[in-house]
Chain A
Amino acid sequence: MLQDWRFWFLAPMVLALGIVVLFPSGYLVWMSVTHWIVTDPSVYFDGVQNFATLFRSASFASAVQVTALYLVLSTILMLILAFGLALALSGPNSPGFIRAIVVMPLVIPPVVAGFTWRFLMNGEMGFLGAFVLPNVGITTNMLANPTGALISIVIADVWSRTPFMFLIFLAALQAIPRDHYEAIRLDGASALQEFWLVTLPMMRSAVVIALLFRVIDALNTFELIYVMTKGGPGRSTQTLSLLGWKTAFQGFDFGGAAALGVVMLVVTTVCASIVYRRFLRMPS
């Protein structure tokens, strides 16, 4: 094996992956079955106690609900927006600078985006929160109101992450051969039928890949929410990743946070593999 040159090409990568992925994952699992609270000097194996506590806690139930709501709302909005923008801007004559503008939020770090949106939504001096919204009859202070805060976060997230989905869709749209559209036009299809019978089916794998990225991305969203609301008011925008951070670094319950981490890992992996198996693997 050591004589095979391929081994030496693979080895550094496997080693790096082991250090940054496999080891921490294993450590996480070990932590999740350990009673480990920073303020408590005794650290011991605790079986599934951390999981039991987690599943019984009200904050976990609410975090699942908030995460699901946030995931579904933002994903639907993003899909519609990204698809619409990609359709509108996929033509050969659509100006490049508009595409550039659409993609721009992608290069703004989530922390900066979060601060910007917090200022925009601010009820006393924000452009949106203090001027635009009151003028259209919305006088609620968005970030101070549970529903308003969640909506604000969804808006900020959609603004910041739609460009990525847009890029995937744009590439997929432009990869559909012109012949297919011409063939179906000759067959007598209307514009709507063209979209339904050619565009949509041929975009399927792009949509699935975009959804896969989106689900993983949404479950991991942290900075944006942290900066905008820190999970509040109350628990109204406290997603699973926020809850994990709070458990670990405010409650100092490393074992409990690790258990939550394991749950998220399992959920993400299961979701991803369902999507992968169901939609992406080539039929044999």
Chain B
Amino acid sequence: MKADHYLDAIGLSCPMPIVKTRNAMKEAETGEILEVKTTDKGAKADLTAWAKSGGHELLEQTEDEGVFTFFIRKG
């Protein structure tokens, strides 16, 4: 999937992935896609909940060797 914005949150722990995602999303326009990479296992549930509460769309979520990748479309 192709993203318009990219955020590397690898190695960061709660609440940093959410805070950085929020800040990165502020820079994006509605409809644009943000790709987030994180190693925080809690972020899996957290980013899903965050996207939902903010009216964003979680398009895709994958895991590869402990790195979680999220594609979120700004709502």
Decide whether A and B are members of one complex: no
Q: Which residues of B contact A (CB under 8 A)?
A: none
Q: Which residues of A contact B (CB under 8 A)?
A: none
